[in-house]
Amino acid sequence: MFAVTLALLSMIGLVAGQPVTLKPHIVMMLVDDWGWANVGYHRNPPTREVVTPNIDDLVKQGLELNQHYAYRCCSPSRSSLISGRLPIHVSDQNIAPTNYNPNDPISGFSAIPRNMTGIAEKMKEAGYATHQVGKWDAGMATPDHTPKGRGFDTSFGYFHHYNDYYTEVVDSCNGTGVVDLWNTDQPAHGINGTGPDKYEEALFRERLLDIVSKHDPSTPLFLYYAPHIVHTPLQVPDEYLNKFSFIDDKDRMYYHAMVNYLDDVVGDLVSALKKKGMWDNLLYVTSSDNGGPVYPFGGANNYPLKGGKLSDWQGGIRVNAFVSGGHLPEKMRGQKTDGYIHLADWYGTFCAIAGVDPTDEKAAKAKLPPVDSYNMWPLISGQTDVSPRTDIPASIQALISGDFKILVGDIGQAGWTGPQYPNKTNPAGGILATEKCGDSGCLYNIKDDPEERKNLASSMPDKLKEMQEKSKKYLATYFNPDRGHASPLACQAAVNKYGGFWGPFVD
């Protein structure tokens, strides 16, 4: 009784001598296409190619999430984070946001079905101010699919997988390029431009700092920052490129310059939050949306992990991730956890921190899959060192359960890189090989063999059988509606309604 009363009192800030305890501010940063070897804290010995002092500092004062998983590519990962579902229960299709199937008003769209509740809707319900900056790639077809429709008070960014860093153009209608830059509920007219000050990540930095400076710190903040960096096209201001001119491979030079640019944005954002007095009551969560894209798809490197973006090897799905900020209990700082966490788990975790029920009633009414999310706060805060998540159904081809992983079918990028990659010797190396795992599957012990070098399928038949059975169970729950085709309505809206910008095209 006494404990309950005390907890209640401290929640409303009435314990003598205590400042009013506010729900913690949360920053969720989802970096794009960031390779395992493309961050300083994963480089031992350090290399002058990977310069991320601000991020490394956050890790040093934070908790490294050493077994944190995403989907093997962008849109399914982002849909998973926003909806709290595993990708196989929301969308595992990396299609353009212009898709539409008029026969299905609930799920006949790209990315998240219309009738699922987004994490920001939950955070708003808990009293948070909610803002999105950067890449969305979780649906665009109707206003319900946009960040605003998913609960963000404001948003600033683009809907597609990527755009140009200087013109913000991606794809075209009748031969004319269309700009992808949206400002909450309208095209971001007049914000585009050329020149280093108009680099897209610079626009995002400006918006982030503006949000922080205008925010009233007595309201809890939920800020979702999804940088364009380090997705292609490989573009970066010369000032950054020049710092890395000693790198002999052009893609690697651009890529590392972009990583360094992002690190500066992180430094500026963290300084602004500290200056505003928000840092001590803040959780800064960081993850990549998938592994780094390896040759021929980009300049990233997941060394020593196998494969990369678009593959289900560890290099495609086990991603850089950590939690930092003053809300992280002291005893967890500078630590590392090997507990399994999937991007889908942040939904339940944020709901628990904010004190709202993660159940999605709206989705239940429309007979959509429920939220899959586990609350990871007990693991992150050190109340337990065991993750509630034992299985990662990474895709319909890959399942991790306990220490084991089964992969079914043809799995591309079945090779490894070196510490300096891509490089002049032979950028393709062995990375373009395909491993034919067939219907019965390849089996790895990812705890003893994190680089997936030894296929145990023939030496551990009982384990293989057990993993096959588990895979079948997940496969039976696969959610895969017909999402239609690129709709001409998207171009009609871009041209006739939005003056050359992409935006929602179905009411």
Name the residues that contact ligand NAG, by CB under 6 A: 106, 114-115, 144, 173-174, 179, 189-190, 192-193, 365-366, 417-421, 423, 425-427, 429, 491-492, 495, 500
Q: What DSSP designation does 497 have?
A: I
Distances (CA, A) of 9 to 17, 23, 25, 60, 325: 12, 14, 20, 33, 24
Question: In this structure, is the dihedral angle defined by the CA atoms of residues 263, 374, 377 and 207, taken in order, positive or negative?
Answer: positive
Transcribe 306-336 into DSSP letters: S--TTS-SHHHHB--EEEESTTS-GGGTTEE
User: What's the burial of 338, exposed, middle or buried (CB within 10 Å: 0-12/13-18/19+)?
Assistant: exposed
Q: How far is the CB of 89 from ligand NAG (least distance, A)?
A: 18
Residue 371, class by beta-carbon neighbours within 10 Å (0-12 exposed, 13-18 middle, 19+ buried)?
buried
CB of 323 to ligand NAG, least distance (A): 30
For residue 121, give the amino acid letter: E
Q: Please, what is the minimum distance in Å from the beta carbon of residue 191 to ligand NAG?
A: 7
Measured from the CB atom, the residue of 193 and 334 that comes closer to ligand NAG is: 193
Among residues 177 and 388, whose Cβ is nearest to ligand NAG?
Answer: 177
- φ/ψ of residue 9, rounded to 5: -60, -45
11-38 exposure pattern, b = at least 16 Cβ within 10 A, e = fewer: eeeeeeeeeeebbbbbbbbbbbbbbbbb
Which residue is at the shortest CB distance from ligand NAG? 418
Minimum distance between the CB of residue 39 and ligand NAG, rounded to whole angstroms?
Answer: 17
Residues sharing a CB contact under 8 Å with residue 324, sequence separation 6 or more, in sequence order:
58, 59, 61, 62, 63, 283, 284, 286
Question: Minimal distance in Å, beta carbon 432 to ligand NAG?
Answer: 10
Q: What are phi and psi of 352, to 5 degrees?
A: -65, -45
The helix (H) or strand (E) run that includes residue 405 is: strand 404-407
**What b/e readout covers 167-177, taking b as 16+ CB neighbours within 10 angstroms?**
bbbbbebeeee
Shortest Cβ 329–ligand NAG spacing (Å): 39
**Residue 500 CB, nearest approach to ligand NAG (Å):** 5
Contacts of 464 (CB under 8 A, 6+ apart): 406, 440, 441, 443, 456, 457
Q: What is the 3-state secondary structure (H, E, C) of 337-360?
A: ECCCEECCHHHHHHHHHHCCCCCC
Instruction: Give the residue with the Cβ less far from ligand NAG, 15 or 486.
Output: 486
Question: Nearest distance from residue 117's CB to ligand NAG, in Å?
Answer: 11
The helix (run of H) or strand (run of E) holding residue 155 is strand 154-158
Using CA atoms, how far residue 375 sits from 54, 319, 358, 372, 382, in Å, is 28, 19, 10, 10, 13
User: What's the min distance (Å) between Cβ of 192 and ligand NAG?
Assistant: 4
Give the separation between CA 462 and CA 381, rounded to whole angstroms: 37
Instruction: Name which of 76 and 427 has its Cβ closer to ligand NAG.
Output: 427
Judged by beta carbon, residue 368 or residue 376, the one nearer ligand NAG is 368
Which residue lies nearer to ligand NAG by CB, 25 or 85?
Answer: 85
CB nearer to ligand NAG: give 154 or 183: 183
H/E stretch holding 187: strand 186-187
Which CB, 359 or 492, lies closer to ligand NAG? 492
Residue 116 or 464 with smaller CB distance to ligand NAG: 116
CB 374 within 8 A of CB 402: no
State which residue, 425 or 477, has the beta carbon closest to ligand NAG.
425
The least distance separating ligand NAG from the CB of residue 493, rounded to whole angstroms, comes to 9
The DSSP bridge pattern shows strands 410-411 and 63-65 to be unpaired
In the complex, minimum distance from the CB of residue 59 to ligand NAG, in angstroms, rounded to a whole number: 23
* C-beta closer to ligand NAG: residue 426 or 459: 426
